[in-house]
């Protein structure tokens, strides 16, 4: 998965590997104050689903906000086809931009936000068919 971050006007791109266990989440690193009983931390790009949604719907069809913030850019519209890693939405929180990209190719069913909108954690941003 590729991530993009902008700091002081300079954009950096990083490629990361998301490691998941059978439970679909990864545990935090091993530090002196961390144990196996620590609560799992969601992988980057994997958002906590609402209790009414099953995990496969969230991973394959719904893109949820990974943070509370402001919508800076919406790069897709309903009916549009996207490829894996295409930019979908840019969010801003605490003067840092977060780019949301497509995990896989697909067709946009609906867009629930517009530039300037405030979003909450796990709010639906885009739904795919």
CATH number for the domain harbouring residue 78:
2.40.50.100
8-41: per-residue pLDDT in tens?
778 887 777 766 554 544 444 444 444 444 444 4
Q: Which helix (H) or strand (E) holds 111?
A: strand 106-111
Q: Which helix (H) or strand (E) holds 127?
A: strand 124-128
The total number of structural domains that make up the chain: 1
Domain with 90, as residue range(s), is: 2-128
What pTM, to 2 d.p., does this model score? 0.56
Question: Are 73 and 58 spatial neighbours (Cβ–Cβ below 8 Å)?
Answer: no
The alpha carbon of 26 is separated from its chain's Cα centroid by a whole number of angstroms, namely 16
Output the six-digit token pair for 78.
Answer: 């309903």
Output the six-digit token pair for 46.
Answer: 């994997």
Output the six-digit token pair for 24.
Answer: 């679909």
91-110: per-residue pLDDT in tens?
999 999 999 999 889 999 99
């Amino acid at each position: 998965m590729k991530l993009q971050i902008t700091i002081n006007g300079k954009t950096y791109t990083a490629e990361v590997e998301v490691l998941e266990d059978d439970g679909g989440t990864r545990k935090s690193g091993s530090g002196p104050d961390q144990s196996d009983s620590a609560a799992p931390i969601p992988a980057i790009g994997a958002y906590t689903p609402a209790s009414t949604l099953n995990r496969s719907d969230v991973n394959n069809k719904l893109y949820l906000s990974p943070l509370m913030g402001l919508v800076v850019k919406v790069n897709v519209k309903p009916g549009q086809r996207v490829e894996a890693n295409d930019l979908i939405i840019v969010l801003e929180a605490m003067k840092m931009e977060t780019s949301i990209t497509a995990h896989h190719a697909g067709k946009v069913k609906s867009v629930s936000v517009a530039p300037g909108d405030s979003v909450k954690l796990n709010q639906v941003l885009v739904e795919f068919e």
